[in-house]
């Protein structure tokens, strides 16, 4: 009997992408929880369990950036029209700017802001900023290809590899003389978790895969394409150090020793390709994927925003990191807490429609109804109440002491007017 193969949806949506994003966002939830609350005493790199956790945690951001490039390029090219006529361009630019806005918004502590204080940490760069810039960067690469010509896949690969290779230009120098707002995009010295270089490179590599799948969507459901991706990822993981070293022997370029002495970019890219290939091949043969899993994968922004406020307490100055104490838990409570944290977000997404119904439909309807009742009260009941108050005021004025009479007359005339 042949294995069941999931067919492409009529909408052109490739299911493994949502499953992969669901995996990445759930790994991010537990990763951020443990990293924030596990005490320093238990962070032993020699521990096998800690090493596995650290390795898996390091996969989430590269997966997100790569999948961003894949999905957006796939949808952009599936439209089939030139960029000037392509609606995805305008949507992508708006989405990119929106993610930049949300990235900054999530960092604001509103009680402190109302007290007149805004931390410089607000202007540091995180995952959402990079994803937003990646959408804009992918459109820019597509525009260059449309103007200059050539294969878009090659352009994406060139920009991806180039972004990785120029990383030492941005990590080695100091940025003290650059305005802090702009420096945060290029260096982690002032608190940014991610920077444009090298992290946009993952999105460009994902764009190359998105280009291939936009031309041949059925490749995602084949045997050979996932295994080709797996082989390429394995080659990068095992052989990228040697390739960088050989390139240095040939060219003498000073950037290359920095890269092969800390070969985390191409090494991690190889892991991303390997994980992506396994999801691509496996999901196509599972058949029906549970709706909740794909729903989690399609709600990554909602989950990210909710976890950020709950865990770090940014908006209200109170979150789990303040309640339990930063890096204060032992392993067992931390593991239990991480499991509950992930479970709570899964249940949140499972019931997201009723919550959105309350927030976007019922609450506005209730507020509009209360507004109408307030207007009715102002027109119908307020004049009567006002007349009663005037009568009571005048009766009390007549009983006022003599020294208040001048003030009484003035107030009385103003009340009548």
Task: Give the start-to-end residue ranges of the domains of the chain.
Answer: 15-351, 381-417
pLDDT of the residue at 190 = 92
pLDDT tens track for 309-339? 999 999 999 999 999 999 999 999 999 999 9
Q: What are phi and psi of 53, to 5 degrees?
A: -60, -45
Which residue, among 234, 340, 326, has the nearest Cα to 278 in the 3D structure? 234
Distances (CA, A) of 223 to 104, 161, 257, 340: 42, 27, 37, 37
User: What's the pLDDT tens digit per position in 211-252?
Assistant: 999 999 999 989 999 999 999 999 999 999 999 999 999 999
- Three-class DSSP category at 19: helix
Residue 402, pLDDT score:
56
Rounded Cα distance, 402 and 149, in Å: 95
Q: Taking the CB of residue 394, how many other CB atoms lie within 10 A of it? A: 14
Instruction: Tell me the Cα Rg of the chain.
Output: 29
Please tell me the predicted confidence (pLDDT) of residue 384: 83
d(CA 53, CA 31): 8
| 69 within 8 A of 202, measured Cβ to Cβ | yes
Out of 47-61, 94-108, 332-346, which region has the weakest mean confidence (pLDDT)?
A: 47-61
Residue 107 has pLDDT above 90, yes or no: yes
C-alpha dist (Å) from residue 259 to 85, 241, 269, 287, 363: 41, 8, 14, 42, 54
User: Which residues contact residue 5 at a Cβ distance below 8 angstroms, ignoring those fewer than 6 apart?
Assistant: 221, 284, 285, 287
Higher-confidence residue: 287 or 96? Answer: 96
At 97, give phi and psi (nearest 5°).
Answer: -65, -35
Q: What was the pLDDT predicted at 10? A: 42
Q: How much is the pLDDT for 355?
A: 87
User: What is the rounded CA–CA span in Å between residue 226 and residue 276?
Assistant: 8
Poorest-pLDDT segment among 139-148, 214-223, 354-363 = 354-363
Q: Is the peptide bond before 235 cis (omega within 30 degrees of 0)?
A: no
Q: HSE of 107 in the Cβ direction (CA atoms, 13 Å)? A: 21
Q: Which residues contact 90 (CB under 8 A, 6 or more apart)?
A: none
Residue 415 predicted with pLDDT over 70: no
Beta bridge partners of 329: 38
Name the residue with tokens 């009568």.
391
C-alpha 72/C-alpha 135 separation (Å) is 7
Q: What is the percent of the chain with per-residue pLDDT over 90, rounded to a whole number?
A: 69
CB 297 within 8 A of CB 21: yes
Say how far apart CA 130 and CA 199 lie, in whole Å: 7
Q: Which residue, 42, 31, 182, 191, is CA-closest to 107? A: 191
Q: What is the pLDDT of residues 167-204, one digit of tens each?
A: 998 887 788 888 999 999 999 999 999 999 999 999 99
DSSP 329: B
What's the confidence (pLDDT) of residue 176? 85
The pTM assigned to this predicted structure is: 0.86
What average pLDDT is seen over the chain? Answer: 89
Percent of the chain with pLDDT over 70: 92
Q: 13 by DSSP, 3-state: which?
A: coil
């Amino acid at each position: 009997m042949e294995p069941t193969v999931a067919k492409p949806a009529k909408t052109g949506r490739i299911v493994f992408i949502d499953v992969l994003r669901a995996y990445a966002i759930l790994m991010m939830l537990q990763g951020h929880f443990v990293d924030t609350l596990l005490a320093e005493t238990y962070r032993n790199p020699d521990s096998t369990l800690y090493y596995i956790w650290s390795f898996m945690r390091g996969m989430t951001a590269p997966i997100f950036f790569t999948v961003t490039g894949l999905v957006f390029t796939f949808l952009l090219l599936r439209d089939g029209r030139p960029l000037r006529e392509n609606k995805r361009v305008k949507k992508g630019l708006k989405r990119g700017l929106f993610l930049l806005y949300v990235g900054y918004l999530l960092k604001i502590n509103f009680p402190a802001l109302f007290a007149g204080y805004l931390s410089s940490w607000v202007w540091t760069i995180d995952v959402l900023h990079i994803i937003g810039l990646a959408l804009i960067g992918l459109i820019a690469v597509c525009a260059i290809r449309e103007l200059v010509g050539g294969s878009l896949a090659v352009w994406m690969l060139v920009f991806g590899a180039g972004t990785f290779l120029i990383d030492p230009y941005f990590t080695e120098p100091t940025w003290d003389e650059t305005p802090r707002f702009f420096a945060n995009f290029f260096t982690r010295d002032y608190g940014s978790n991610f920077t444009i270089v090298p992290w946009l490179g993952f999105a460009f590599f994902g764009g190359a895969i998105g280009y291939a799948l936009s031309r041949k969507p059925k490749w995602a459901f084949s045997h050979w394409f996932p295994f080709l991706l797996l082989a390429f990822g394995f080659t990068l993981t095992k052989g990228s150090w040697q390739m960088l070293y050989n390139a240095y022997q040939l060219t003498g370029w000073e950037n290359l020793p920095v890269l092969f002495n800390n070969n985390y970019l191409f090494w991690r890219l190889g892991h991303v390709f390997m994980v992506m290939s396994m999801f691509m091949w496996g999901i196509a043969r599972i058949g029906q994927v549970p709706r909740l899993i794909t729903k989690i994968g399609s709600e990554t922004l909602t989950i990210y925003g909710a976890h950020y406020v709950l865990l770090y307490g940014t908006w209200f100055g109170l979150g789990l990191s303040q309640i339990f104490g930063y890096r204060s838990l032992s392993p067992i409570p931390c593991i239990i807490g991480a499991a509950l944290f992930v479970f709570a977000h899964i249940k949140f997404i499972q019931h997201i429609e009723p919550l959105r119904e309350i927030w976007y439909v019922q609450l506005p309807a209730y507020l509009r109804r209360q507004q109408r009742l307030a207007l009715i009260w102002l027109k119908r009941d307020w004049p009567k109440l006002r007349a009663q108050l005037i009568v009571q005021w005048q009766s009390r004025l007549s009983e006022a002491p003599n020294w208040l009479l001048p003030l009484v007359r003035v107030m009385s005339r103003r009340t009548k007017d």
